Amino acid sequence: MKISLLVMTAVIEAGAGLALMISPSTAVMFLLGSSLDSPAGLTLGRVAGAALLALGIACWLARHDAESRPAAGLIIAILLYNSAAVLLLAVAGVFSGLVGIFLWPAVILHASMAVWCIAHIRRT
């Protein structure tokens, strides 16, 4: 069974978004090895979770229309997000010493998703 880029993104980002909305400190602990202690940090973590959940829902709703112009814009946005996530997470791990159990797997996952986005864009 072939899984589409939009379906995979929907599942990954909706899951990450829900985790951040429900327990942002735990999610960040697994990713960066540090907790969110302040109410501002918890709120910002939940807002980021809501954004990821929204991205996941948008991808899920567009999954049957991956070749349309709006879906192409969505895929470019996903490429930007994944590229930024690779850069920001890698910088956090290398220069800030923030390393949780899922940091480097997340960097690899986001890099792979960015490559998949590029392949999809080139193909269409």
In contact, 63 and 6? CB cutoff 8 Å: yes
Q: How many CA atoms lie within 13 A of 103 on its CB side?
A: 19
- Tokens linked to 27: 């999610």
100: left (phi over 0), alpha (psi -120 to 50) or beta: beta
Q: Which residues contact 74 (CB under 8 A, 6 or more apart)?
A: 6, 58, 59, 62
Q: How far apart are the first and last CA of the chain?
A: 21
Q: Which residue has the tokens 């590029």?
A: 118
Indicate the average pLDDT of the chain. Answer: 95
Residue 1 has pLDDT above 60, yes or no: no
> pLDDT per residue over 54-73, tens digit each?
999 999 999 998 888 999 99
